[in-house]
Amino acid sequence: MTPLISGIHHVTAIAGDPQQNVDFYAGTLGLRLVKLTVNFDDPGTYHLYYGDGLGRPGTIMTFFPWPGAPHGTVGLGQVGVTAFSVPPESLGFWRQRLEAHGVKTRGPAGRFGEQVLEFDDPDGLPLELVAGGSDARPGWDAGPVKIEHAIRGFHSVALAERPPRDASDRTLALLGASMDFRLVAESGDRLRYAMGDGSPGALVDVLLTAVPQGRSAAGTVHHVAWRTPDDAHQAAWRERIAAAGLDITPVRDRQYFRSVYFREPGGVLFEIATDPPGFATDESPEHLGERLRLPPWLEPKRATIERSLPPLRLPQAARRD
């Protein structure tokens, strides 16, 4: 079997206050809260999932919010920037919307023939909105942002790697020779790789940068997950990554997908996640994210878990600005 990675599955980051996180991603950015659950490895902490109307792979931004968490430092060995795709004529709308919500923006500026608007989330996580190539994904048509401007999903992530190139050669070899990513563009110290069909959501940039080593805490990405269609392809990837000399975990059941994890040579934590079973496995598509969901092995501890979690005001019916 030939393994297949078709694009980004999800990006998971660390936040501070969970209410602030919900208000920004489900409010300001207009994503749908598609799953309200807990960190399976730390069930006293929420795990919040945002995406399009169904939380399709390639649209899913997730957070571990630890109230009072210190701010981290974005740097080497991390995803330095997470970029979302928006319709080509929407950057003016988004600049006005973000600034109306008190978010400072930078740009837009050109990059690889596209226009990019930069900003940070409330914890300082670097984000971008990218308008350019054709993106046929539907976005969420019932959110607070009208569908003609709604976020479609991820555009790309940028990995912060150490220059000169001999220090990042193993990362580039992993992406190219081992993971079948294709080098499609280069500008200065930024290299762009494509997966699958190379459309938005199937792109990763490598930034060769002299910034200091990153420090993981609020405002930083914990890991990026690449999507694969099923368990058989994931098993093939696990064998291939192990053959490349990297330590990779056993398969872990994340309830809505199955995952394996490894660190690429530059230190970024990678995950390979299956597309199925998806977020409608334990609640209907019409009611995603409306109540706390727990995996079967944590359900007997529900009362204790609910007492340990801070109260959270969930998004109400859409009010479009």
Q: How many Cα neighbours within 13 Å face the side chain of 157?
A: 29
Helix, coil or strand: residue 67? coil
Supply the CATH number for residue 279's domain.
Answer: 3.10.180.10
CA 206 to centroid of chain Cα atoms = 16
Q: What's the confidence (pLDDT) of residue 319? A: 39
Structurally, how many domains does the chain consist of? 1
Q: What's the confidence (pLDDT) of residue 166? A: 65
Flag whether the pTM goes above 0.75.
yes
Across the chain, the runs of DSSP E, i.e. the strands, are 7-15, 32-39, 42-51, 60-65, 79-86, 105-111, 114-120, 126-131, 153-161, 182-187, 190-194, 203-208, 221-228, 252-253, 258-263, 269-274
Q: What is the DSSP letter of 313?
A: -
- Which residue, among 101, 131, 33, has the nearest Cα to 321 in the 3D structure? 101
Is residue 317 assigned to a domain? Answer: no
Is residue 319 assigned to a domain? Answer: no
Q: 98-141 pLDDT, tens per residue?
A: 999 999 999 999 999 999 999 999 999 999 999 987 898 999 99
163 and 189 in contact (C-beta within 8 Å)? yes
- Residue with the two structure tokens 């291939």: 240
Low-confidence spans in the chain with pLDDT less than 70:
1, 165-167, 316-321
Structure tokens that stand for 263 in this block: 């660190």
What residues pair up with 121 in beta bridges, in sequence order? none
Is residue 263 assigned to a domain? Answer: yes
Supply the range of the domain harboring residue 39.
Answer: 7-308
Gap between the Cα atoms of 140 and 50, Å rounded: 11
